[in-house]
Structure 1
Amino acid sequence: MDIRRLYAFMKIVDIGSITRASAILHIAQPALSQQIAALETHFGKPLLLRSKRGVIPTEAGKVLYRHCQMIIRQMNQAEHDIATSSEEITGAVSVVFAPLGLGSLVATQLMRTIREKHPGILLYANEAVGGGVISEQIMTGKTDIALIFDPGKIPSLSFEPISTEELHFIGTQIAEPEDGEISFAEAVSQPLILPSPIHTVRQVIETTLSRVGTSAQVVAETESISYLSNALAEGLGCTILPASAAQAVQRRVAGARSYRIRRPNMKVAMAICVSAQLPLSEAAAVVRDHLVRLATEAARSPAASGSGQG
Structure 2
Amino acid sequence: MDLRLLEYFLAVARAGNITKAAEQLHVTQPTISRQLMDLEEVMGTPLLCRGKRQVTLTDAGVLFQQRAEEIVTLMEKTQQDLADQNDLVGGTVAVGCVESSASRMLPEVLKNFAAQHPRVQYQLYSADGDDIREKLDRGELDFGILLEPIEAAKYDYLRLPYWETWGLLMRSDDPLAEKAAMTVEDILPLPLILPRREIVQDNIAGWFGVERSQLHIFAGHNLINNGALLVEAGLGYAFCVGGCFAIRQTEGLKFVPLTPERTTGHVLAWKKNRVFHPAAHHFREFIEQEKACVDPQIQSNLS
Question: Common fold, TM-score beyond 0.5?
Answer: yes
RMSD of aligned C-alpha atoms?
A: 5.0
Q: CA deviation at 1:95?
A: 1.5
Counterpart of 2:135 in structure 1 is 137
Which residue of 61, 74, 96 maps to 1:70?
74
Contact 2:3 2:72 (C-alpha < 8 Å) held by counterparts: no
CA-to-aligned-CA distance 1:129-171 (integer Å, 9 cap, x gap): x32222333344443321123465499x634262695735599
What are structure 2's unaligned runs of at least 5 residues? none
CA-to-aligned-CA distance 1:199-250 (integer Å, 9 cap, x gap): 676764455457299979x9xx9736xx99xx9xxxxxx987557x38x949
Identity %: 16
Contact 1:159 1:273 (C-alpha < 8 Å) held by counterparts: yes
Counterpart of 2:145 in structure 1 is 147
Counterparts in 2 of 1:183 and 1:36: CA distance versus 1, 3 Å: closer
User: Hey, what's the Cα distance between the residues in 1 that align with 2:182 and 2:224?
Assistant: 24
Q: CA deviation at 1:197?
A: 3.7
Contact 2:49 2:56 (C-alpha < 8 Å) held by counterparts: yes
* 3-state SS of 2:224 partner: coil
User: Hey, what's the Cα distance between the residues in 2 that align with 1:141 and 1:66?
Assistant: 10
Counterparts in 2 of 1:13 and 1:134: CA distance versus 1, 3 Å: farther
User: Hey, what's the Cα distance between the residues in 2 that align with 1:113 and 1:162?
Assistant: 19
Counterparts in 2 of 1:9 and 1:72: CA distance versus 1, 3 Å: farther
Q: CA deviation at 1:274?
A: 3.2
* 3-state SS of 1:74 partner: helix
Counterpart of 2:270 in structure 1 is 274
Counterpart of 1:223 in structure 2 is 224
Amino acid in structure 1 at the alignment position of 2:99: P
Contact 2:179 2:256 (C-alpha < 8 Å) held by counterparts: no
1:193-272 correspondence runs (5 A): 196-198=194-196, 204-205=203-204, 208-209=207-208, 211=210, 223=224, 242=241, 245=243, 249=246, 261-262=259-260, 266-268=262-264, 270-272=266-268
Determine whether 1:7 maps to 2:34: no
Counterpart of 2:35 in structure 1 is 35
Amino acid in structure 2 at the alignment position of 1:114: F
* Range with greater deviation from structure 2 (266-275 or 66-75): 266-275
Counterparts in 2 of 1:280 and 1:187: CA distance versus 1, 3 Å: farther
Which residue of 287, 290, 296 maps to 2:286?
290
Contact 2:135 2:141 (C-alpha < 8 Å) held by counterparts: yes
Amino acid in structure 2 at the alignment position of 1:13: A
Contact 1:158 1:274 (C-alpha < 8 Å) held by counterparts: yes
Contact 1:167 1:261 (C-alpha < 8 Å) held by counterparts: no
Contact 1:161 1:272 (C-alpha < 8 Å) held by counterparts: yes
Contact 1:165 1:267 (C-alpha < 8 Å) held by counterparts: yes
Counterparts in 2 of 1:48 and 1:183: CA distance versus 1, 3 Å: closer
Q: CA deviation at 1:36?
A: 3.1
User: Hey, what's the Cα distance between the residues in 1 that align with 2:63 and 2:246?
Assistant: 45
Q: CA deviation at 1:49?
A: 2.7
Contact 1:96 1:127 (C-alpha < 8 Å) held by counterparts: yes
* 3-state SS of 2:281 partner: helix
1:45-60 correspondence runs (5 A): 45-46=44-45, 48-52=47-51, 53-56=54-57, 57=61, 59=63
Amino acid in structure 2 at the alignment position of 1:149: L
Counterpart of 1:103 in structure 2 is 102
Amino acid in structure 1 at the alignment position of 2:71: H
Amino acid in structure 1 at the alignment position of 2:47: L
What are structure 1's unaligned runs of at least 5 residues? 177-181, 232-237
Number of corresponding residues: 272
* TM-score between the two structures when normalised by the length of structure 2: 0.63
